[in-house]
Amino acid sequence: MKISKGKRLLILGIVLVIIDQVIKVLVKTNMSIGEHFNVLGNWFQILFIENEGMAFGMKFGGAVGKLLLSLFRIALCGVLCWWITKLVRGKKPVPTGVLVGLTLITAGAFGNIIDCLFYGMVFSASEPGGVAAFGGSYAPFLFGRVVDMFYFPLWRWPDWVPLIGGDIFFEPVFNFADSCVTVGAIYLILFQYKFFSAEDK
């Protein structure tokens, strides 16, 4: 039985979201905030932190900002799902790479939305020295914190380098969902820009 392109994209998106959530739940229910361990030397670590919802641990203006960010993410996912559906069902052929790139971005955004929507209601708070558990509650709907864990402190700049001396080259801690969004966006920009240029014309 042949699976349609739309169903293949849906399966891809679901698999990516499941991978993201499995990693996050494992980290959240087995590690305390700030706990870390090395995966490949010192330059690849699993470091458990939480953020208010922006990629790579960035912050966005308190409770109101958090609410707006959650609502924006939901709206963005809705628009992306509509766009992908439109491209798949359209009469004009669309490169598979475009659809896969958009699916990566959508799945990544949705993965982080799940954290914001539900984690505050289904987990107890993660604290230094304390591991979260199912069945608790630390925040209302839309106000959960996003779980991050991938940390790549590749090297420190020499102290003599102006402005950045002593700083870590790549300091953000991120998650699988962030990776999906980043890889999808970079892929579309580098390899599928002709499609979007043609669409604009």
Cα 35 to Cα 11, 39, 140: the distances in Å are 33, 13, 25
The CA-CA-CA angle for residues 144, 147, 152, to 5°, reads 155
Q: Which two tokens stand for residue 122?
A: 């289904």
DSSP at 26: H
- Out of 115, 148, 159, 167, the active site residue is 148
Q: Which two tokens stand for residue 120?
A: 């505050």
CA pair distance 201, 188, nearest whole angstrom: 18
**CA 1 from centroid of its chain's CA atoms:** 33
Residue 54's closest CA among 145, 153, 132?
Answer: 145
Residue 98's closest CA among 2, 188, 23?
Answer: 188
- Residue 87's region, left for phi above 0, alpha for psi from -120 to 50, else beta, is alpha
- Active-site annotation holds for 20: no
- Out of 20, 159, 167, 178, the active site residue is 178
Residue 114's closest CA among 21, 13, 15, 28?
Answer: 21
- Active-site annotation holds for 200: no
Which positions are annotated as active-site residues?
A: 148, 178
